[in-house]
Amino acid sequence: MSTVPKFAVNGRFLTQNATGVQRYALNVMRALNTALEEADGWATIVAPVGGNDPGFARMPVSHSGRLSGHAWEQLTLPARWRGRLLNLCNTAPALKADQIVCIHDANIFAAPDSYSRSFRAFYHTLQPLLARRSARITTVSHAAARQIARHLPIAVEDIAVLPNGHEHALRWDPALAQTAPGIIATVSGRSERQFVLALGSRARHKNLTLLIDAAPGLDEIGVDIIIVGGDAGIFVPGELAARPNVRLIGRVSDNDLAYLLDRALCLAFPSLTEGFGLPIVEAMARGCPVVASHCASMPEVCGTAALLASPTDPVAWVQHISTLKDSQELRADLVQRGRSQIRQFSWSNTAAGYLELLERPTARRSIYHAPVTATGARTALVVATRGRPALVSATVRHTLATQTQPPDTVIVSCVDPEDAGDLADHPNVTVLTGPPGLAAQRNTALANLPKNTEIVAFFDDDFVADGNWIAAATRTFRDESRVVAFTGRVVADGINGPGIAFADAVQMTAEAAAADWAWIEPYSPYGCNMAFRVKSIGSTRFDERLVLYGWLEDRDFAAALAKGGGRLVKDAAAFGVHMGTKGGRISGNRLGYSQVVNPLYMLRKGTMTIPKVANHILCNMASNFGRAAWPEPFVDRRGRARGNLIAIADVLRGRLEPERAAGLPTASQRGSIQPEVKAR
């Protein structure tokens, strides 16, 4: 046997309580130890004094240093070990380059309110450094890789996916359970009631409040809820309201957990975001059916072996659990599917992947190649239009013909049926009529969305979308549970020039180069292509006092949703061309009026900040007055400047009425130029 360690493992986690991250590290090391035995090699574990020794023959523990915690990891560990280092628990020495680092998720960025302020500050500083300096970054699922790439300076293709395994759950012995039998006896003593099992801390992203909300409905069908787990110190304390059929029992041993899983009606896993979701494969390994959230990594890990539901819809969870309770055939089918699904999640395969990376960090080995595509959300596409029937017909038909994930519903919202052109006869298009104005027409569509619509996208009638636009938006909403508003990349915008012909827009979209960025947050959506989570919209509507077509009503709407804590993002994966077609829009003096009044009105509403208001007004006025003498042929600069002055006069008189813009005379009425579109 070689006497020289091939590598060292960061053993700081051996001083911590066993949560999912620590379980991952311990099981990977167990599998690594087995592989080293077979290869007649060995490694070492460097740990703080007082760290547990897992007893691996080929991976002995070396305790060193007087420091502990992060200080030990940042100072003692790199001084103690100069060779290649494997870090399996999210953190690592910031200044060491020759190391592999597993970052399990980017929840610290995606769900920051689940963590304490000090923890957030440390991770926000450390993890970007690790992403830049480390020899290789790994993670536990393809969904986690996408999330990490959005928030850290690393491309998704440079992240190795090495998932959790399931074998450890098969070693648990329910015959050795100590506390679980008494708990089950209490539950079953209530008229032979069944129970669902939930695992996890009370961190907000674990979303256990959904089960509390579902508890009355489950009580009606004779089902109790047992919640196992404790709060980790990194999390913000959460409270779960008391329910007569809910029991919170804290931490239990693995053998007790096996006892509970073997007898549960199902595992309920309602998380909003997870890097992997280890309890899912543990339940499947024990033959326990799973009901899980349909977002983040859960669809990928569950495949077709679980019932999936929205993590914000307790009624759907009650329905799934009720169906499972009433159908032994469904239970048996899910158990069989689960045992098949977990075969792709093996600690030995993951350990083999790490050994390859430790030998050659640039290796592209994949543990599992074809994760199940996330179940498609029910989407609706809304296009508001007026006076441009040929244009809207061309863009909507192109969208329907090219989207890889077609919308479930397409709504064309107009003032007169003739505005929709020949789309009125299209079998996949619903034409609605209502009051004029972009805000009003969008509100008409919102009031008529089909039940259970999860995502609503809004395209301008002159926007040509890439074929993956809706798929990219859906994936983002599923991956990032806190995102409420989404906008894509505009590769060319005719609004800033004479406009772009439809055929040219189609070609430009097809030939668009890849962006040099992936994700921007926060970013207020651009109205020509944006999408929203319907659940987050609730009763919120576009402000119909913002009467003109396409002037800040999109930002006002998104800001209203963000007040509830939602995230606004821009994703380069969704893109298209905004043709900026001239005609059917608004004249310069009306637009100039809105350039001043609308931002001030939104400031008063609290949906626009003082710096942004000042920037909008001053920049637009500077452009209008600076170019009034030599205006662009497609922009009514003099009309805009005139509108700016009228607005300032109204504001000075205390009149802040954005709807007044619609009553101003048009440029054509003044015998000037033809109507123009607004500039962003």
Calculate the alpha carbon distances from 292 to 297, 313, 450 in Å.
10, 12, 24
Structure tokens at 368: 């599992």
Percent of the chain with pLDDT over 70: 92
**Rounded alpha-carbon distances, angstroms, from residue 617 to 598, 640, 663:** 10, 12, 21
| pLDDT at 232 (0 to 100) | 43
Residue 674 pLDDT greater than 50, yes or no: no
Burial of 373 (C-beta count, 10 Å sphere; 0-12/13-18/19+) = exposed
Q: What is the per-residue pLDDT across 502-553, written as a single tens digit (0 to 9) for each? A: 999 999 999 999 998 889 999 999 989 999 999 999 999 999 999 876 678 9
Q: What is the CATH number of domain 168-344?
A: 3.40.50.2000
Same fold, 8-165 and 168-344: yes
- Cα angle for residues 235, 240, 244 (degrees, 5° grid): 155
Please choose, from the candidates 475, 112, 520, 532, the residue with its C-alpha nearest in 3D space to the C-alpha of residue 296.
Answer: 475
The 10s digit of each residue's pLDDT in 110-141 is: 778 778 889 889 999 999 999 999 999 999 99
Q: What pLDDT is stored for residue 675 in this prediction? A: 35
Q: What is the pTM of this model?
A: 0.84
Region 549-561 average pLDDT: 86
Chain centroid, CA 350 distance in Å: 26
Query: pLDDT category, 337, cuts 50, 70, 90?
Result: very high
pLDDT tens for residues 277-313? 999 999 999 999 999 999 889 999 999 999 999 898 9
pLDDT in tens, 463-495: 999 999 999 999 999 888 889 999 999 999 998
pLDDT recorded at residue 112: 80
Mean pLDDT of the chain: 90
**Residue 414 host element (H or E):** strand 409-414
pLDDT, position 242: 73
What is the pLDDT at residue 667?
52
- Considering only 116-130, 148-162, 367-381, 636-650, which range has the smallest mean pLDDT? 367-381
| Domain range annotation of the chain | 8-165, 168-344, 379-581, 590-670
CATH number of the structural domain 8-165: 3.40.50.2000
What confidence tens digit (pLDDT) does each residue in 594-620 have?
999 999 999 999 999 999 999 999 999
pLDDT digits (tens, 9 = 90+) for 608-652: 999 999 999 999 999 999 999 998 888 889 999 999 999 999 999
pLDDT of residue 673: 30
Q: What is the pLDDT of residue 5?
A: 72
pLDDT of residue 669: 45
Does the structural domain 379-581 have CATH classification 1.10.3720.10? no
Buried-state track 91-101, b at ≥16 Cβ within 10 A, e below 16? bbbbebeebbb
Of residues 370 and 310, more confidently modeled: 310
Residues facing residue 432 across a β-bridge: 413
Q: Which parts of 65-219 are beta strand (E)?
A: 85-87, 99-102, 136-139, 159-161, 194-199
Per mean pLDDT, which range of 100-114, 146-160, 272-286, 369-383 is the poorest? 369-383
Instruction: State both tokens at 333.
Output: 């089918």
What Å distances lie between residue 105 and 40, 297, 309, CA to CA? 34, 10, 22
Nearest Cα to 113, choosing from 223, 272, 248?
Answer: 272
Question: Alpha-carbon distance 63 to 662, whole Å?
Answer: 75
At residue 307, the 3 state secondary structure works out as strand
Give 428's DSSP letter: T
Q: Is 562 exposed, middle or buried (0-12, 13-18, 19+ CB in 10 A)?
A: middle
- Whether 8 shows a pLDDT value over 90: the answer reads yes
How crowded is residue 230: how many other Cβ atoms within 10 Å of its Cβ?
14
Q: Rounded to an integer, what distance in angstroms lies between the CA atom of residue 603 and that of residue 147?
A: 33
Task: Give me the pLDDT at residue 184, please.
Answer: 86
How far is it, in rounded angstroms, from Cα 316 to Cα 296? 18
pLDDT at 241 (0 to 100): 59
Nearest CA-CA partner of 301 in 208, 375, 408, 215:
375
**Per-residue pLDDT band at 17 (split at 50, 70, 90):** confident
pLDDT of residue 550: 64
Q: Is the peptide bond before 522 cis (omega within 30 degrees of 0)?
A: yes
